[in-house]
Structure 1
Amino acid sequence: MALNDSTPTPERISNDRTIVRLPMLLGLTLAGGVLIGASFFGGTKGLNSIGRGYTKYKEILQLIENNYVDSVNTDDLVDFSITKMLEKLDPHTAYLNPTDAVAARSQLEGGFDGIGVEFNIFADTVYVVTPLAGGPSETAGIRSGDKILKVDDTSLTSKGVDNSAVYKAMRGKRGTEVRLTVLSKGQKPRVVTVTRDRIPTYAVDAAYMTDAQTGYLKVNRFSDSAYEELRNALAGLKQQGMKQLVLDLRNNPGGYLDRATNMADEFIDGNKLLVYTDGKDDRYDRKYFAKLNGQFEDGALIVLIDEGSASASEILAGALQDHDRGYIVGRRSFGKGLVQMPVQLSDGSELRLTISRYYTPTGRSIQKPYVPGQEGDYEKELELRSKRGEYYVADSIKNDPKNVFKTDKGRTVYGGGGITPDYFVPRDSSWQTAYLGQLYAKNIIREYALSYANDNRARLEKMPFAEFDKAVNLTDEQLSTMNKAATAEGVKFNAAEFARSKNYIRTQTKALIARYVYQKANKGGQNNEFYRVMNTADNTYVKALTLFDKAQELEFGPKAVGKK
């Protein structure tokens, strides 16, 4: 029986679609991966050899349950022992308890059941950033800026309330009702009954034209709906006259393998090899080829990657690079070349077991080195890149000379540690300060942007974005008001650090205001206006727009440079 690549499979992802993450948070991609669906493991190979170990383990659990001096939760012991056992394998084989398995699955299955609000916690209070357009909360009359004081009998105003507590209170089976105690500005608290429903999640963050011929498309994960979203986005951009494209895969930790290959097929012509997998058991060996007439098989293509681009992102970038179809710009990718098969266990928990390695068309494994049982060293690898200057100096990238491969047109590429970009762009850390970090921690920027958007909504919603872009620019006086709000929340003002971060804070705030104003007008969960503003301060994006001559030369040859 063959593997069913379309079987929904989970992956833990942490992705804030609006706030630019600080550098070392990229370690979250460790939880990501390439997933291949299956509903079974066949055969009984090795059962006799593990029988003695199983008997011993069962005996120990029974002895603890019956004789240990204190009461213990044997389920917790089992979960702990499984987790420790898997640490002796590769860094990506993992065990998820039932709660984590459901949460992880919702990130890739296109949605979850809930009330349909984006919230923000500010000063120990839960604020509605925006209700999902057409969702259950908007239907019930909840608006941006409302405070949610209680969910049923659970208070959300206690000190230390966090995201997990809010998720637990708000999410639940679709069709069930939940009573929210809501406080709107200038009114008394009221109780609103909301019927939970399916809340969609999206893979394409943005798809817009930067000029008359250049499109920009950002993919945040390879989820269940990613391929369909990409196709729709490409079609829309082509209708607007797109001739060349920037495909942004930065901070994309992966997802379904077949979504990655289907998306590669949209850019690569003929029946070229896209990726292949190889494992101990040949049942899991597969070759994936291009087979469709893709929507953008011709035209200059630039692909943005960084150290947060992992697994499925690397499959797509690797296929485009090996076939000389895309010009890769940014920094070296994460380096995750293992494929997991998720198996749901009887209690709803899940085992994600590494069953094979994947290889790019040239035969590259991009898996970075690891030592089984030393996961801590593996997790520190991104930090080590920073210490040796790799994020800032191209020559600091240390490729293994034994892992040299040639692309279709004879260019040199490397395996054994991620995708090395064709053009390196250093990380811009000039604006990153401790003061900015404290503003993020206290949600000062988001809160100011939300208040500004709500106070000026009637005027701003009438503006086309081009007019908004010219009209809305935060003054020094407005930034001073934000700093005073931060001081009131316990953030000590630092003039020197604020000066370094000032322009970035101004851009970030304007981008968030644009998002809150225009989000309802966008379809498919895209935040085009946010990225239109934010990308102006993104040095990798800005540089990429100047490199289409190199992308054209890669695609069409030197004689084609300058032609459109």
Structure 2
Amino acid sequence: MTPAPRPDASQPEPAAARAPRSRWQRWRQPVLLGAALLSGILLGSNPFRPSDQNPDATARGYLKFKEILSYVDREYVDTVNAEELSDYAIKRMLEKLDPHSVYIPAKEQQQAAAFLQSDYDGVGVEFNLFRDTVTVVSPLSGGPAEQAGLQPGDRVLAVDGQSVSGQHLTTDQVFARLRGPRGSTVRVLVLRRGQTRPLTFAMTRNRIPNTSVDVAALLADGTTGYVKISRFAAGTYEEFKEGLSRLKREGMTRLVLDLRGNPGGYLDRATKIADEFIGGTRKIVYTDGKGDQYDTQTFSRVAGEFEDGPLVVIVDEGSASASEVLAGALQDQDRALVVGRRSFGKGLVQQPITLSDGAELRLTIARYYTPSGRCIQKPYRDGVAAYDKDLQERYSRGEAFHADSVHFAANLRFRTAHGRSVYGGGGIMPDVFVPRDSSAQNRYYARLQGANLVREFGLQLYQDHREELEQLTFEQFRKAFDISDVQLQALAARAAQEKIRQDAVALRRCTPALRNQLKALVARSAYGKDAYFAILRDQDHELIQALQSLQDANAKLALSGETSGQ
């Protein structure tokens, strides 16, 4: 038998399976693809072989399962689907191990892998689903949809003659109809505001970039760079390098790296980015598994583009896996200050094993540790159900709003390169704590987001003001366009039609968050993705704190070195 290959720290981790977000957090990223990535080292397939430790027990268990499944298939009173039963049994068995060892059936493999692709074949359109209606939010610049003439607000009625309106389709099902082989043609029937008859657009599918660096921009002061990475996909490192080089040419001398809501992805992309910041030969991450077969160490080794200069990293409870590896390395090596809230705590390494039918087993084979020795993985001894509720429990304990609600055991204290105290026990605790914005913390706001009403209403506002917006530059829009009380009341009335009872007190409380989000959504449709994030930054309390921390980031890190005698 061919032995399993030894993992290499330069190899990437596979795609996602479990979301590190609770219900109270979901409004932050309404289009997030919903998965915290299984941060692991990508390996080839591994043939079945019994355990070297207890081969007889493994063989007996295998034969017992095979025997029972055969009896059920032959003798059970009703007809059963043996394959579905075995899939169910496998999933339940893996739940006894840890929360991130998972089985992915063959039919779900393509969807699981798509999240980390750097591009795909399609028409290039962002859409919104509301009341079973597919509505164009924005055609991607230069894509087939834009070239064909699709516009924000167009309502898609049919794709290739098949109705998509009122069909109770999921987002993935809509994607499946719009995507297809490059060079193939798709015909889309849309209803446009102001037109009495539907319009038909024929588009030739092409390669569409699936970017993971959402923003790489110079902020208003002209010297501060801001880079937001949504996941670590196949092309993330190249996107990051391109953005970083451009920012340096534009005069950047300090940087904010935003990893909030980033569920992870390919590990080697994260470690390469860490290498751009960390000079010399210094440890970035290491793994520890059973014996030494899966023990690895990754060090910085190239001359990076930003090894000096103030650096701040923003994380939150949605930052997981490879995001935590990157943040933990920069914190432990005293290269950056970490700002925000404690990260998710996903530090288990998975080995992908391709099964004979095309399904995949992702089996935990090691744990990740930061350079100081902190284990990134949070505890999971109480089972998967309790593990999945961890973020809600943190919220109930007040961790989202008070730093002193986060407790670490004294024996889990570690030291950074310059002697600062950091703690293990799961996740990365920031150096500078920033509480969640409480203005959006109410059930009414959550229900507006859950029903997709805010995105739909933002698109309606764009359509209502389209002619006006076409006469404004983005900077003019930024200064002059505001969301009025009348418009907020109209949103509340729309919500009431969807059986979300009006709540004047709750609406007042979340008004600042709603104004900012609606204005950003209008900007997205009128001026593009960069404009969307620019408006969101205006009310971003965590970013504001990060900018303040930049003022003395170098001083704090240097002082820690002096006090520790290094």
State if a TM-score over 0.5 links the two structures.
yes
Structure 1 range deviating more: 263-272 or 191-200: 191-200
The correspondence of residues 271-290 of structure 1 with structure 2, limited to 5 A, is: 271-290=281-300
Partner in structure 2 of residue 3 of structure 1: 7
Distance 2:474 2:156 in 1: 31
Matched, 1:245 2:247: no
Distance 2:12 2:433 in 1: 37
Query: Taking structure 1 as reference, are residues 187 and 30 closer, same or farther at Cα in structure 2, changes over 3 Å only?
Result: closer
Give the secondary-structure state (helix, strand or coil) at the position aligned to 2:293.
helix
Give the secondary-structure state (helix, strand or coil) at the position aligned to 1:517.
helix
Partner in structure 1 of residue 44 of structure 2: 39
Shift of 1:555: 4.3
The correspondence of residues 19-418 of structure 1 with structure 2, limited to 5 A, is: 21-22=26-27, 31-41=36-46, 44=49, 46=51, 48-49=55-56, 50-158=58-166, 160-185=168-193, 186-210=195-219, 211-371=221-381, 374-418=383-427
Give the secondary-structure state (helix, strand or coil) at the position aligned to 1:221.
coil
Shift of 1:193: 3.5
Residue of 527, 540, 544 corresponding to 2:546: 544
Give the secondary-structure state (helix, strand or coil) at the position aligned to 2:552.
helix
Shift of 1:136: 2.7
Partner in structure 2 of residue 534 of structure 1: 536
Structure 1 range deviating more: 439-448 or 271-280: 439-448
Structure 1 range deviating more: 21-30 or 396-405: 21-30
Structure 1 range deviating more: 324-333 or 196-205: 196-205
Query: Taking structure 1 as reference, are residues 15 and 332 closer, same or farther at Cα in structure 2, changes over 3 Å only?
Result: closer
8 Å CA contact 1:10–1:107 kept in 2: the answer is yes
Matched, 1:432 2:436: no
8 Å CA contact 1:6–1:258 kept in 2: the answer is yes
Identity of matched residues, % = 45
Cα-to-partner distance string for 1:502-552 (whole Å, 9 max, x where unaligned): 122111111111111222xxxxxxx33222211222221112211223312
Give the secondary-structure state (helix, strand or coil) at the position aligned to 1:34.
coil
Q: Which runs of 5+ in 1 are unaligned?
A: 520-526
Cα-to-partner distance string for 1:232-276 (whole Å, 9 max, x where unaligned): 111121122111111111111111111111010011101111111
Give the secondary-structure state (helix, strand or coil) at the position aligned to 1:35.
coil
Distance 2:229 2:322 in 1: 11
Query: Taking structure 1 as reference, are residues 8 and 303 closer, same or farther at Cα in structure 2, changes over 3 Å only?
Result: closer
Query: Taking structure 1 as reference, are residues 12 and 171 closer, same or farther at Cα in structure 2, changes over 3 Å only?
Result: farther
Query: Taking structure 1 as reference, are residues 174 and 337 closer, same or farther at Cα in structure 2, changes over 3 Å only?
Result: same
8 Å CA contact 2:287–2:369 kept in 1: the answer is yes
Q: Which runs of 5+ in 2 are unaligned?
A: none
8 Å CA contact 1:364–1:414 kept in 2: the answer is yes
Counterpart amino acid of 1:328?
V
Distance 2:244 2:65 in 1: 54
8 Å CA contact 2:260–2:319 kept in 1: the answer is yes
8 Å CA contact 2:185–2:204 kept in 1: the answer is yes
8 Å CA contact 2:212–2:233 kept in 1: the answer is yes
Distance 2:318 2:537 in 1: 18
**Over aligned residue pairs, what C-alpha RMSD do you find?**
2.8
Distance 1:10 1:350 in 2: 11
Cα-to-partner distance string for 1:156-212 (whole Å, 9 max, x where unaligned): 222644324323433344444433222222141244343433332211111212222
Shift of 1:94: 0.6
Matched, 1:513 2:522: yes
Distance 1:11 1:558 in 2: 37
Cα-to-partner distance string for 1:354-399 (whole Å, 9 max, x where unaligned): 1111111111112111127x11111111111112111111111111
Query: Taking structure 1 as reference, are residues 40 and 122 closer, same or farther at Cα in structure 2, changes over 3 Å only?
Result: closer
Counterpart amino acid of 1:38?
L
8 Å CA contact 1:435–1:497 kept in 2: the answer is yes
Counterpart amino acid of 2:7?
L
Shift of 1:43: 8.7
8 Å CA contact 1:399–1:417 kept in 2: the answer is no
Shift of 1:420: 1.1
Distance 1:338 1:113 in 2: 32
Shift of 1:96: 1.2
Query: Taking structure 1 as reference, are residues 240 and 367 closer, same or farther at Cα in structure 2, changes over 3 Å only?
Result: same
Give the number of equivalent residue pairs.
Answer: 550
Structure 1 range deviating more: 150-159 or 301-310: 150-159
Shift of 1:460: 3.2
8 Å CA contact 1:154–1:169 kept in 2: the answer is no
Distance 1:387 1:436 in 2: 18
Give the secondary-structure state (helix, strand or coil) at the position aligned to 1:430.
helix
Shift of 1:344: 2.4
Shift of 1:92: 0.7
8 Å CA contact 1:325–1:554 kept in 2: the answer is no
8 Å CA contact 1:33–1:310 kept in 2: the answer is no
Matched, 1:485 2:487: no
Distance 1:545 1:7 in 2: 32
8 Å CA contact 2:20–2:344 kept in 1: the answer is no
Give the secondary-structure state (helix, strand or coil) at the position aligned to 2:330.
helix
Distance 1:250 1:182 in 2: 36
Distance 1:122 1:192 in 2: 22
Counterpart amino acid of 1:531?
F
Counterpart amino acid of 1:548?
L
Distance 1:275 1:183 in 2: 52
Distance 2:313 2:400 in 1: 18
8 Å CA contact 1:215–1:246 kept in 2: the answer is yes
